Amino acid sequence: METITAIKSKMSALLAFAFSVFMSFYSFAQDNAGGVVTTENNTTTTTEWYANPMYIIGGAILLIIIIALIARSGRRD
């Protein structure tokens, strides 16, 4: 019974975390105030790397993996 309770607790925490992350992405997707930073040189338009959402998503995934590895290394089975 303890195992089932622990699994339900972990799944509940994971669901709450996933919900907050997705709602965060949704709320930032609605923001138009900042805009994208661009620099124009005659005929070339470049966008700053930090304005690309793929870098932000990749960084978030990497951060989650690092946190999971640190949390997992603290357990001794």
- Tell whether the model's pLDDT for residue 67 goes beyond 80: yes
Q: Are residues 42 and 22 in the same domain?
A: no
Of residues 69 and 1, more confidently modeled: 69
Q: Are residues 29 and 40 in the same domain?
A: no
Q: Which two tokens stand for residue 72?
A: 């997992």
Whole-angstrom distance, CA of residue 75 vs CA of residue 19: 26
Taking the CA atoms of 68, 63, 66 and 58 in sequence, report the sign of the dihedral they define: positive
What domain range is 1 assigned to? Answer: 1-33
pLDDT band at 58; cut points 50, 70, 90? very high
Q: Are residues 51 and 74 in the same domain?
A: yes
* Number of domains forming the structure of the chain: 2
pLDDT in tens, 14-54: 888 888 888 887 776 655 555 666 666 666 566 777 788 89
Q: Are residues 46 and 77 in the same domain?
A: yes
Q: Report the predicted TM-score, pTM, of the whole model to 2 decimal places.
A: 0.37
Q: Are residues 15 and 49 in the same domain?
A: no
